Chains A and B, each alone.
Chain A
Amino acid sequence: DTGVSQDPRHKITKRGQNVTFRCDPISEHNRLYWYRQTLGQGPEFLTYFQNEAQLEKSRLLSDRFSAERPKGSFSTLEIQRTEQGDSAMYLCASSLGVGTGELFFGEGSRLTVL
């Protein structure tokens, strides 16, 4: 399968714990995006990378959230000191960058904070 893959698919954690999600984009894609989706809503933009550079961060991304893409390939999204409001589906997408605009999405990582 050469699509975008995310891991884990489901994560249940207790409030206050740290969690990390991983995204492996399509190999030739230089852009990687993170979105958050809650029930009944569309994906909300969190941040994106052009290769290893993080170019934009949403105001939604509090200091507890950090994302990296150290070698311009896979990316991680870490949430520290999780809160119940962090419960959501975290979506990763990749694209070839400027021009096509099409994003290819993974199936998401669902986080439940108890």
Chain B
Amino acid sequence: GNSVTQMEGPVTLSEEAFLTINCTYTATGYPSLFWYVQYPGEGLQLLLKATKADDKGSNKGFEATYRKETTSFHLEKGSVQVSDSAVYFCALSDSEDMRFGAGTRLTVKP
């Protein structure tokens, strides 16, 4: 079945550091890929998505590229801010349901 594996956290960075959170997937067919973010005390919300191979999703300075050859969708940001502290979830959808990774907690220190 479909599944997502993302790097374990927690991740602690200093402000303005470069961020990478790895995500790989297993799927039959051609799923869409997503990154969701959960800020403290809030519900999950979509950060970015990509619907086909080689698509790049981007939002709020975050980027992720759908790599079919490596079955990956790594999240990157060039310069993190304290306000980016949250839990990040990689997810995939085959149009029926959405499956999530375990989440990676990011803490950014000033």
Name A residues whose Cβ lies closer than 8 Å to a Cβ of B.
4, 33, 35, 40-45, 48, 55-56, 91, 93, 98-99, 101-108
Contact = CB atoms under 8 A, between A and B. Distances in A.
A43 B44 CA distance: 10
B43 A105 contact: yes
Interface of A is mostly: loop
Contact of A33 (B32, B49, B97): B97
Interface of B: 4, 32, 34, 42-46, 49, 51, 89, 91, 93, 95-103
A40 B102 contact: yes
A103 B103 contact: no
Given A33-B97, A48-B97, A102 B43 contact: no
A43 B97 contact: no
B46 A106 contact: no
Nearest to A89: B43
B91 to A, nearest CB: 8
B94 to A, nearest CB: 9
A91 B43 contact: yes
Contact of B46 (A43, A45, A103): A103
